[in-house]
């Protein structure tokens, strides 16, 4: 297992060590079974349960929460970790302000920052996650500010060149 692996338990599969492996912000997490990353395109996520029955495990993304769910066969997707507390959601959701007040740039920044913050709260322990999430939120705000200034300067140069 790597540091990006988040172990979890799934009823009926205690005969396996299961984990979710996070790769990047915009990539789908993968399933790690007994220390080996499974390629969903090759084995379609099939795994033998405790009774030996072959069952299909699917990872169901959950972008706002940052923690995917696991679907076993045709059952309802199961949460594999505890919910974040309200104040963790509030801290991780700071970039939401950019979504509603930052225009198109704010939407872009928030779409990138919100899942990063949620994943930080799911994979990082202790007070360090508040610092990391705060830096991501600050970076998203700085991105919006810098890009807005750059666009304003470009518009002024373009309008100055166009005037007779």
Of all residues in the chain, the percent with pLDDT exceeding 70 is: 87
Q: Is the pLDDT assigned to residue 82 strictly greater than 80?
A: no
The CB density around residue 82, as the number of other CB atoms within 10 Å, is 8
Q: What is the pLDDT of residue 43?
A: 56
Closest listed residue to residue 26, CA positions, set 128, 121, 98, 108: 108
Q: What does the pLDDT average to over 137-158?
A: 93
Task: Provide the pLDDT for residue 7.
Answer: 86
Q: What is the pLDDT of residues 86-102, one digit of tens each?
A: 999 899 999 999 988 88
Please give the average per-residue pLDDT across 143-152, as a whole number. Answer: 94
Contact criterion met (CB below 8 Å) for 6 and 81:
yes
Query: How confident is the model over 121-130, as a mean pLDDT?
Result: 84
Comparing 65 with 129, the larger pLDDT belongs to: 129
So what's the pLDDT on residue 28? 74
Mean confidence (pLDDT) of the chain: 84
Per DSSP, what are the bridge partners of residue 31? 20
Grouping H, G, I as helix, E, B as strand and the rest as coil, residue 62 is coil
């Amino acid at each position: 297992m790597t540091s990006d692996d988040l172990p979890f338990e799934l009823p009926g599969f205690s005969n396996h060590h299961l984990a979710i492996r996070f790769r990047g912000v915009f990539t789908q997490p993968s399933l790690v079974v007994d220390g080996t990353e499974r390629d969903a395109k090759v084995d379609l996520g099939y795994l033998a349960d405790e009774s030996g029955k072959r069952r299909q495990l699917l990872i169901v993304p959950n972008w706002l929460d940052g923690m995917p769910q696991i679907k076993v066969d045709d059952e309802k997707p199961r949460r594999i970790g505890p919910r974040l507390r309200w104040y963790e959601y509030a801290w991780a959701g700071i970039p939401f302000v950019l979504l509603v007040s930052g225009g198109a740039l704010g939407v872009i920044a928030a779409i990138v920052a919100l899942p990063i913050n949620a994943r930080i709260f799911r994979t990082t322990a202790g007070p360090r996650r508040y610092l990391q999430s705060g830096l991501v939120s600050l970076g998203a705000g700085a991105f919006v500010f810098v890009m807005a200034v750059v666009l304003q300067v470009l518009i002024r140069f373009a309008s100055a060149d166009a005037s007779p």
